[in-house]
Structure formats: structure tokens, C-alpha cells
Amino acid sequence: MFIHDTLLEYLTFGVTEVQVRNLRDYIKRLQQPTDTGSAEMNVDKEFHKLNLFDQSSSKTMHAANASCNKNKNRFLNVLPYDDTRVALRQLPGIQGSDYINANYIHGYSHAKQFIATQAPLPQTIPAFWRMIWEHHCMTIVCLAQESEGGKVKIHRYWPSIEASIHGPLMVEMVTEDTHGDFIVREFKVTHTTEGHSRTIKHFQYINWPDNSYPQSAAGLVDLIGRVQKWHQQNSVGQIVVHCSAGVGRTGVLIALCNMIERVRVEGVVDIFQTVRELRTQRPAMVQTKAQYLFCYLALQDFLASFDIYQNFL
């Protein structure tokens, strides 16, 4: 069965790996029409193939669909798979208190390196901070603004001047600095009953339209570099990543982080299989064709900005 499935995938998808030195030419081909006079581009064809052999129909989402948890989901069509969902500690006597709309996502070299999650709803903000504390997460990456195009995308879950209290957790703002396209905040989170505190870094990218991509990848390149540096210095827990639904922009950022690691080790790019693997862990990761193409464009800019990769280009 494994041999059959492997051959079928090869015949369906073809070779999707690209040598880094060939990346520019490959991106040019993606942006060209499939046939002379056709409106469909090669990137349309490649993105469409992601939906073939989609595993979501074989995955269960029982926890997300439980009656006690339905109002905790921001979107009814973006629910966490049971086999990769992040479970919280069950609170005594509170049904469904172990649930949050979030999934573990593997990194290139480390299992469960990321947590992909939706932006917390007002009623799930305490659960969000419980997740941060229980899983020893010290890095949060937010890829949306509170309001975009007149629509609420995220509910503010962090404090400004006064500390916010969520059960036994007290969250205080320490610093807030703007760096071009993103804001970096430092929080002090204190467990008031256990009597100790942790430092959490919060990176918010503020120039990324929903269902599209930034006009320039430079700001995102800078953001990824800062996130990776902070996490390497404080490699405890997962990197928590969210946008609004926690699948589109969230998927792009995690895909880029994984591909950067693979390039460093192997010198090859495979956006197709990277995104396909992400979708086995959380549905709809890298949600649109525009976001999929941006994975290629941003990776090209990222590689060009570091001397270590110049030998590959």
C-alpha cells in the first residue's frame, strides 16, 4: 500500500523539489500561463494539486464539535484535528476546559515546534493565556491587526497600561517598540498562586492584508529573523503563531520557517510538500493561491538577505 501510494503521488504531483539556485527561474515559470492564451497560470495548477489526496476528510474533530466547545471557535469551518490538537489541563468540574482551537505543528528539525491557533475570542482569552503558561511558551507571533477593512480580525488579548488578570495569571506590559511593519512587546506573566513570573515576547506584524500578501517581504524577513533569534535564546516551549483563523497567514509563516531550515541543511526548496504536510496537522494551512505564491517570493527575498545562502543562489 505504501509503494502504491508513493507511486500514485509521484505520478500526480511530479517532482516538486527545487534547487535553491534554480528558485528564481522556477518562480518565473509559476507566474506564466499554463498554455498560450490561457488565463490559468502554473501557480494555479500547482496550488490546485494541494487539494488532491486531501486528508481532512479522514480526520476527526470531535473535541471541536462538542456542544460545550462550539462557541469557542472563531470560524465554524476552521476546527482543530483531534490527533494534533493542543490540550489544556482539565479544570475540576468544568466540561470542555481542556479545549482550545489550536494544533501542534512540526518544525523541520523538531516535533511540535509550533502551535498554530486562532486569535482568541473574548471568552477564550483566559484559555489562551493558560496555554501559554502550561506549555512554557515564550514567543507569540500575531499576524493580524485588531481591525482590517472594517472587520474585527482579532480581539485584543494583551494589556496596555494596566495589568490584565486571567484566573491566576497576571499579564503586564513591560515594553512596546515599533519596527517598521511590526510591533515587538515584552510581557511579564505572573502565576499569582505559584509565585513566579516569565518573560514573553509578542511580535505583531501589522502590514499583511487578509487573504493576500504584503507588498514587500522585507518586513516579514526581519520579523522571522527576530523571532528565530529570540526563540533560540529562550528555546522553551513552542512558538505560538496566529492570525485571525490561524491557517492562512499562520501557515505561510510556519512554512517559511521550516523551509529556511531545510535550505540550510539540504539546499533545496519544496513549498508544495511543506504546505501539504502542514495541512495534515491543521486544516487549510496557507489558505489562498496568493499566500501560496508569496511563500516562494518571501523565501527568495529571505535567502537573498543572508550571506550564508549566497553560495546557493
Q: Is residue 192 part of a domain?
A: yes
Q: Is residue 83 part of a domain?
A: yes
- Specify the pTM: 0.93
Name the residue with higher pLDDT: 66 or 11. Answer: 66
What is the number of other CB atoms lying within 10 angstroms of the CB of residue 199? 11
Q: Give per-residue pLDDT as tens, 140-175.
A: 999 999 999 889 999 999 998 899 999 999 999 999
Question: Is the per-residue pLDDT at 257 higher than 80?
Answer: yes
Question: Which residue type is seen at 41?
Answer: M
Q: What is the DSSP letter of 209?
A: -
What's the rounded Cα separation, in Å, for the pair 280 and 277?
5
How would residue 90 be classed by pLDDT, with cut points 50, 70 and 90?
A: very high
Residue 112, domain extent? 2-307
Question: Is the per-residue pLDDT at 235 higher than 80?
Answer: no
Q: What is the DSSP letter of 119?
A: P
Burial of 89 (0-12, 13-18, 19+ CB in 10 A): exposed
Closest to 90 (Cα-Cα) out of 62, 127, 121? 127
How would residue 16 be classed by pLDDT, with cut points 50, 70 and 90?
A: confident
How would residue 6 be classed by pLDDT, with cut points 50, 70 and 90?
A: low
What is the number of other CB atoms lying within 10 angstroms of the CB of residue 231? 20
What's the rounded Cα separation, in Å, for the pair 167 and 245?
25
* Residue 158, domain CATH: 3.90.190.10
Question: Is the per-residue pLDDT at 310 higher than 70?
Answer: no
What is the model's pLDDT at position 236?
A: 80
Q: Is residue 141 part of a domain?
A: yes
Q: Is 308 helix (H, G, I), strand (E, B) or coil?
A: helix
What's the rounded Cα separation, in Å, for the pair 267 and 100?
37
Share of the chain above pLDDT 70, in %: 92
Q: Provide mean pLDDT across the span 287-304.
A: 90
Q: Is residue 312 part of a domain?
A: no
Question: Is the per-residue pLDDT at 309 higher than 60?
Answer: no
What is the model's pLDDT at position 277?
A: 95
Q: What is the DSSP string of 128-151?
A: HHHHHHHTT--EEEE-S-SEETTE
Contact yes or no for 223/204 (Cβ under 8 A): no
Domain count, the chain: 1
Question: Is the per-residue pLDDT at 312 higher than 70?
Answer: no
Q: Is residue 273 part of a domain?
A: yes
Q: Is residue 313 part of a domain?
A: no
Q: Picking from 36-50, 80-94, 216-230, which range would have the lowest pLDDT averaged per residue?
A: 36-50
Which residues sit opposite 175 in a β-bridge? 186
Please list, in sequence order, all residues whose beta carbon lies within 8 angstroms of the beta carbon of residue 214, skipping any fewer than 6 positions away. Answer: 181, 207, 208, 220, 294
Q: Give per-residue pLDDT as tens, 23-77.
A: 999 999 999 988 766 778 899 999 998 887 677 778 999 999 999 999 999 999 9
